[in-house]
Chains A and B, each alone.
Chain A
């Protein structure tokens, strides 16, 4: 069965330090992978996606993510965290074999708190 896991409910990091939000996936075929961020009382905002090509994907607001096929992971990273990065982060995957049905499988989210 297709699934996405975000193993940490919450991540705390000091401002200026690097941050990592973890995501692992399980699909039958090759994956399309997405990261979204949700600020309080706001909708989901697209950060970045991996479709094919370079395993390191750069996205909005200085975020990047690395696709690791052997570890079935797609961790979100940022070299230097800002207090304004505090939000809820969601990882999602779409199985390439069923790409046309456009259905995303979502993780449960990770709450990131960046402390000043």
Chain B
């Protein structure tokens, strides 16, 4: 079974430029998550989708970040414009979306973003 796929794996951009990350979750997983992970820290949830609906985006900096999950499968996270402080690893995860929250989140390899 294929895992969570993310692309690109690495991205280097100059500040004020836009950038987009793509995620393909595990087949059949209804819930999709975008996290940001800074060096030496745990993941920070940015947004969670249940199918195509964003049900938790309280930590997403909405002035510059946007996300979409059209058709409830693939998702794209965008930053426009990027700032130096956005340099981090952006992780996508997916889970079955079991009632009660017992499901396990499975992570992709991440996209390492460097903003110069």
Contacts and interface: CB of A to CB of B under 8 A. Distances in A.
Interface of A: 32, 34, 36, 41-46, 49, 51, 90, 92, 94, 96, 98-104, 106-109
Interface in B93-115: 93, 95, 97, 99-110, 112
B43 interface: yes
B101 A98 contact: yes
Contact of B101 (A42, A46, A94): A94
21 contacts: A32-B102, A41-B109, A41-B112, A42-B109, A43-B108, A44-B43, A44-B91, A46-B106, A46-B107, A49-B104, A90-B42, A90-B43, A94-B101, A99-B101, A100-B100, A100-B101, A101-B56, A102-B31, A107-B42, A108-B41, A108-B42
Q: Number of contact residues on B: which range applies? A: 20 to 34
A102 B42 contact: no
A10 to B, nearest CB: 11
Contacts of A44: 43, 91, 93, 107
B41 A104 contact: no
A106 B36 CA distance: 12
Interface in B66-115: 91, 93, 95, 97, 99-110, 112
A45 B104 CA distance: 11
